[in-house]
């Protein structure tokens, strides 16, 4: 007797990629985690090869009736098309494959309401808005060149910037200088600058400073200002989606996810709540505690025509982080 058909869903963020295989009754039959990253940096071929390996690992030889790939870095239509074309020839994609930005998985993990907004603040920051008639709002999310600020990477870079200026006298004293020295185990910020300059360290490591920024927000004015700015940026992205979709006066869920927001930092969360209440008083915040792979799995099951009972079973199985 052959194996039961499955759908395979992949959620890929900047730090890791999560994949599951679920049968059409909603039973999770395979799960695996692999390295994350952006297709633009590691290369499309490498990214697709990683996805291919995870899909095959979780499917375990079972026939795949639908695949859903929700990846970070697929921010422009051209990137989505290129990724879809790159996987189209795989045998597991022959019955249908959905390729989209991973924000759609976060949104589905938080709500199935047709009018909704999602903001992710993890390694970077991004948002999407969706309306019942199919209209949506997206951002390029390419960093400072596309007007973005924040996320773990942005907060870490700012912490380093302020630490450097505090040490050499160009800026105010800040506890961030000590936090940066301690985190990287260096005698001075000048030594750390040299290590970055000579390639002895990767500047991507700066994102690991974001927990220090959050930790010091209530005791240090510089860190507090950064956290307040992050709250304002989350609100700006959510409100912009609502305004462009003409939903500012509607009771719309605003789904929040990503490592920085999952930290639960009270100053950050209070700032977001206050900002949203002022600009969109009927909007309600939905904190996603379930892993985004749940949203990816639900979207893929729905695309395969699975029954409501399967969605409920999958939700129960995946609602908690692995």
pLDDT of residue 1: 47
Please report the domains of the chain, with CATH numbers, ordered by start residue. 6-101+290-318 (3.30.420.40), 110-148+226-287 (3.30.420.40), 156-219 (no CATH)
Question: Would residue 293 be called left, alpha or beta, if left means φ above 0 and alpha means ψ between -120 and 50 degrees?
Answer: alpha
> CA 234 from chain center: how many Å?
13
Paired sense of beta strands 136-138 and 125-130, if any: antiparallel
Q: How far apart are CA 276 and CA 30, in angstroms?
A: 39
**How confident is the model at residue 146, as a pLDDT?**
94
| Residues of the chain where predicted confidence (pLDDT) is lower than 50 | 1
Angle at 48 between CA 46 and CA 54, to 5 degrees: 105
* Two tokens, residue 267: 């100053």
Query: What pLDDT, on the 0 to 100 scale, is given for residue 322?
Result: 64
As a whole number of angstroms, the distance between CA 28 and CA 148 comes to: 37
pLDDT of amino acid 16: 82
% of the chain with per-residue pLDDT over 70? 98
* Maximum C-alpha span of the chain: 74
pLDDT of 36: 74
Give the pLDDT score at 217: 98
Q: How far apart are CA 150 and CA 229, in angstroms?
A: 8
pLDDT of residue 2: 63
């Amino acid at each position: 007797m052959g194996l039961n058909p499955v759908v395979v869903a992949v959620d890929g963020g900047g730090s890791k990629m999560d994949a599951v295989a679920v049968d059409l009754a909603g039973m999770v039959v395979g799960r695996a985690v692999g390295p994350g990253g952006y297709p633009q940096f590691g290369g499309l071929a490498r990214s697709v090869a990683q996805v291919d390996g995870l899909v095959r690992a979780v499917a375990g030889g079972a026939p795949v009736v639908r695949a859903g790939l929700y990846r970070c870095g697929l921010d422009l239509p051209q990137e989505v098309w290129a990724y879809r074309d790159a996987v189209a020839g795989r045998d597991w994609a022959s019955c249908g494959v959905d390729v989209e930005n991973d924000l759609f998985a976060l949104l589905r993990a938080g709500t199935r309401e047709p009018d909704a907004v999602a903001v992710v603040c993890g390694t970077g920051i991004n948002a999407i808005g969706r309306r019942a008639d199919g209209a949506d709002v997206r951002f390029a999310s390419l960093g400072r060149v596309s007007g973005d600020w924040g996320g773990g990477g942005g907060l870490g870079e700012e912490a380093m910037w302020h630490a450097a200026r505090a040490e050499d006298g160009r800026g105010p004293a800040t506890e961030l200088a000590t936090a940066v020295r301690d985190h990287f185990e260096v005698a001075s910020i000048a030594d750390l600058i040299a290590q970055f300059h000579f390639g002895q360290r990767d500047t991507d490591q700066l994102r690991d400073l974001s927990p220090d920024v959050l930790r010091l927000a209530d005791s240090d004015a510089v860190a507090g200002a950064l956290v307040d700015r992050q709250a304002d940026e989350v609100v700006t992205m959510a409100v912009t989606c609502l305004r462009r979709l003409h939903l500012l006066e509607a009771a719309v869920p605003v789904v929040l996810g990503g490592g920085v927001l999952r930290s639960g930092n009270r100053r950050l969360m209070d700032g977001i709540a206050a900002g949203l209440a002022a600009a969109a008083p009927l909007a309600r915040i939905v904190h996603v505690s379930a892993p985004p792979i749940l949203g990816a799995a639900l979207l893929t099951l729905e695309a395969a025509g699975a029954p409501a009972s399967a969605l409920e079973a999958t939700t129960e199985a995946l609602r908690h982080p692995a």
